[in-house]
Structure 1
Amino acid sequence: MTIRKVTVLGTGVLGSQIAFHTAFSGFDVTAYDINDEALTAARGRFAKLVSTYRAEVDGAGDGKAEKSADAIVLTTDLAAAVEDADLVIEAVPEVLTIKQETYRKLGELAPERTIFATNSSTLLPSDLKDSTGRPDRFLALHFANDVWRFNTAEVMGSEDTDPKVFRAVAEFAAAIGMVPIELHREKAGYVLNSLLVPLLNAAMTLSAGGYAEPEAVDKTWRIATGSPYGPFQMLDIIGLNTPYNIMVNRDEDGKKLAAWLKDNYIDKGKLGIASGEGFYKYS
């Protein structure tokens, strides 16, 4: 079961990183998004990643980073994007209905051999598998933000996932320089977000409730734990739309935090680092 041609669906913050790093690792990569505006934004993200890799990643000099960006095929044509893909990595918005509809289309367009992998932060493969038309060739492959630096790739199948597919995707993750983290059972949030999401929610609860400003929460976390980032800095890196989409569909407490995030930040264009401002301002 060979993986050489990879298609990434969604060119947001993490989707762009996955596409770029996969191309940098020598794979043929196509990146799909819904319109030309999204692809223009993707080109900007790839250009920034070129600079980042040249500064931080061994072997990115001598034009390799630039060649990696140039080699990525960008398209708004979903059929063309997946027509010869060995692996499709889905990184579309964290909304169940959007992901389900995406997989229904994919199941009709992609070759039978194609493996589908979701980068969903919180949804289970079993939430999506029936939409794919190929539950045996579907699983989750979850990356951490800043993939070149925090290089884990969590691999989690459903009870229907073919073990050979699971093994092929774990080997692919290793081939692009990730450390495969294999989960033996389905768990919402995998390992990373099972630890991280409660921290981020607790931080937002503190500030939304008027107990402490985001800067004070972050300072406390950094000093007390030695972490390089506080939870609000992490949220800015992730982008505020992602936690909003997760919380707005949760319990009443989650909906209240989502409303606070929307009213005070998202509606004011403060979406995180990508927009130049979130909980902090960025040059």
Structure 2
Amino acid sequence: MAGPNIENVRRILVVGSGAMGSQIGMVCALAGYEVALQDIEEEMLGRAREELERRMGRNVEKGRMSREEVEAAFGRMTFTTDLEGPASEADFVIEAVVERLDVKREVFRRLDRAAPGHAVLATNSSTIVSSRIADATGRPELVCNMHFFNPALVMRCVEVVRNPKTSDATVETTAELARRVGKEPVVINKEVPGFVANRILHAIRSEALWLYENGVASFEDIDTACRTALGHPMGPFELMDLTGIDVAYHAANSRYEESGDPKDRPAKSIVEKYERGELGRKSGRGWYTYDEEGRRVE
């Protein structure tokens, strides 16, 4: 069986229609690929389509792209609850389901049975390395992390992470796919928790939380310092609200499980917000408060 080749990638399956999966699907469709977006719930798929239509409509209104481009992209997308059917036609699969190892391993088992032998099976996970998933398949050399950043329609970086069995052809194909969908790949040759960007982000976030919890400065002023002194587009607390405080909570727990280092446990203020359901923009309140459109009100 021939190995992966970017010239043979025409159909892409994205598994999971949450914020990341749906936007990854649209990024690929806008680049000209036939895309199947799969989820286990019709309701999730409906919400994903509505949100994409809202985002794309806003881009058209602001002149970032034409209505024809958007309509053509939607014409290349299908929304389905069927996994095996689209997998059987896919040249490349990007998994973006919940950050639970058991769920991902089961998804990869099913994908391995259904997908053509040349298809790359990539996980978008930012916390689970692909070596923990690859042995659920019979093609570990075709498994890697392809980690997009939130919001995937905007952020340019994609981390391509090889596991010890990932082939060079898989890495090259995945990196080139990232380029062809308008992203800039960063190839990571050794699995480490958090990869590159999130390790750096974690260091900044940990320091910001320490400064806040020790009364050195308010979270608003820490955000202001990061924007006005360091040139960051948003501060660490604003970013936590955007990506989800639940994501920060689970990522910290995952790091702690890997390292056993108490310093990797979620910060006290993160635990408190998680337990109160203050998850950021998605819940209307996190560090800041938001209206129904996700605009900050205080």
Instruction: Decide: shared fold, TM above 0.5.
Output: yes
**Deviations, residues 38-70 of structure 1 (Å, cap 9, x unaligned):** 212212321232134325674x21332243235
Task: For structure 2, list consecutive stretches of 5 or more residues without a partner in the other structure.
Answer: 292-298
- Is the aligned partner of 1:62 residue 2:67? yes
- Is the aligned partner of 1:222 residue 2:227? yes
* 1:128 to 1:20, Cα distance in 2 relative to 1, 3 A: same
Task: For structure 1, list consecutive stretches of 5 or more residues without a partner in the other structure.
Answer: none
- Is the aligned partner of 1:113 residue 2:124? no
Aligned partner of 1:11 in structure 2 is: 17
- Is the aligned partner of 1:233 residue 2:238? yes
- Is the aligned partner of 1:243 residue 2:251? no
Aligned partner of 1:270 in structure 2 is: 278
Match for residue 270 of structure 2 among 261, 269, 282: 261
**Conserved in 1, the CA contact under 8 Å of 2:33 and 2:76?**
no
Q: Distance in 2 between matches of 1:256 and 1:208?
A: 13
- Is the aligned partner of 1:174 residue 2:183? no
**Conserved in 2, the CA contact under 8 Å of 1:272 and 1:279?**
yes
Q: Distance in 2 between matches of 1:188 and 1:247?
A: 10
Partner of 1:169: helix, strand, or coil?
helix
**Conserved in 2, the CA contact under 8 Å of 1:50 and 1:66?**
no
Deviation, structure 1 residue 106: 1.9
Deviation, structure 1 residue 208: 4.7
Q: Which has the larger radius of gyration?
A: 2
**Conserved in 2, the CA contact under 8 Å of 1:116 and 1:137?**
yes
Alignment of 1:139-178 (within 5 A): 139-178=144-183
Alignment of 1:62-141 (within 5 A): 62-141=67-146
**Deviations, residues 83-120 of structure 1 (Å, cap 9, x unaligned):** 21111101122222222222222222322222101111
**Conserved in 1, the CA contact under 8 Å of 2:26 and 2:153?**
no
Which amino acid in 1 is paired with 2:282? Answer: A
Q: Distance in 1 between matches of 2:97 and 2:214?
A: 31
Q: Distance in 2 between matches of 1:170 and 1:145?
A: 18
Aligned partner of 1:39 in structure 2 is: 45
Aligned partner of 2:57 in structure 1 is: 51
Q: Distance in 1 between matches of 2:95 and 2:235?
A: 28
Aligned length: 280
**Conserved in 2, the CA contact under 8 Å of 1:95 and 1:245?**
no
Please give the TM-score of this superposition, normalised by the length of structure 2. Answer: 0.84
Please give the TM-score of this superposition, normalised by the length of structure 1. Answer: 0.88
Identity of aligned residues (%): 32
Q: Distance in 1 between matches of 2:176 and 2:62?
A: 25
* 1:157 to 1:100, Cα distance in 2 relative to 1, 3 A: same
Partner of 1:282: helix, strand, or coil?
coil
Q: Distance in 2 between matches of 1:67 and 1:262?
A: 44
* 1:56 to 1:25, Cα distance in 2 relative to 1, 3 A: farther
Partner of 2:147: helix, strand, or coil?
strand
- Is the aligned partner of 1:281 residue 2:289? yes
* 1:70 to 1:135, Cα distance in 2 relative to 1, 3 A: same
